[in-house]
Amino acid sequence: MSANASQASKRERQMSMRGGRYSPGWRQYRAPFQPLGNDRAMFGPLQEMLLMHERKLTLCSTLEDIADSLPEQVERLTCLTVASALLPLLHHAHHLEETIIFPAYDALPDATKAAGTTQRLRIEHVEDECFADELTEILFKIGREGEVANAEMFGFMLRGFFEGTRRHIAFEREHIAPIVRAAFAKSPHEI
């Protein structure tokens, strides 16, 4: 085993121990929440958006698990994992949608699309990132200190976030994705 791999393995063991209850390794645990990184070259933008949706839904399920485990059963490692992944994943997904997917949708004929749709989705992105910023701070605090200051309020915040995110994703999958896919079906390399 190389020095770097040995160091990473040691760090994962330490993170698992700090979590209290058994948790899988750090890198393995974070993987479902990550942006695509070098793998993104394998996907077109539409496929990448749908994959980002899957990862955000996985993250929503984890946030729901945290809400259900408050206040005493919460896993500290899970909180740290989600805290470190939440904003980067949102930034990546929102940037992709706002720079490629939404402009493609907006360029379609008026009869094909609903007016003001992407403007509303962009506003939801800003709201989600502000909300996620607050959640990240609390999740890091729970992960570091192991205590939940106001479990009822935090549970309410978590549920508000993941329920809103699921609605947002459902709309993009059911309305945006099919229209954009159909519009570019004849030129698949453009989207």
Q: Using an 8 Å Cβ cutoff, are 63 and 158 in contact? A: yes
Q: Is 84 left (phi over 0), alpha (psi -120 to 50) or beta?
A: alpha
In the bound state with Fe ion, the residue whose beta carbon lies nearer, of 75 and 97, is 97
Q: How far is CA 130 from CA 18, 90, 126, 138, 182, in A?
A: 28, 11, 6, 13, 33
Q: Using an 8 Å Cβ cutoff, are 54 and 169 in contact? A: no
In the bound state with Fe ion, the residue whose beta carbon lies nearer, of 25 and 164, is 164
In the bound state with Fe ion, the residue whose beta carbon lies nearer, of 64 and 98, is 98
Which residues of the shown chain bind Fe ion in the complex (CB under 5 A)?
97
Least distance CB 172 / Fe ion (angstroms): 5
Least distance CB 84 / Fe ion (angstroms): 21
Q: Which residue is nearest to Fe ion (CB)?
A: 97
In the bound state with Fe ion, the residue whose beta carbon lies nearer, of 76 and 92, is 92
Place of tokens 């750090």: 26
Task: Tell me the residue type at 131.
Answer: F
Least distance CB 62 / Fe ion (angstroms): 19
Least distance CB 121 / Fe ion (angstroms): 5
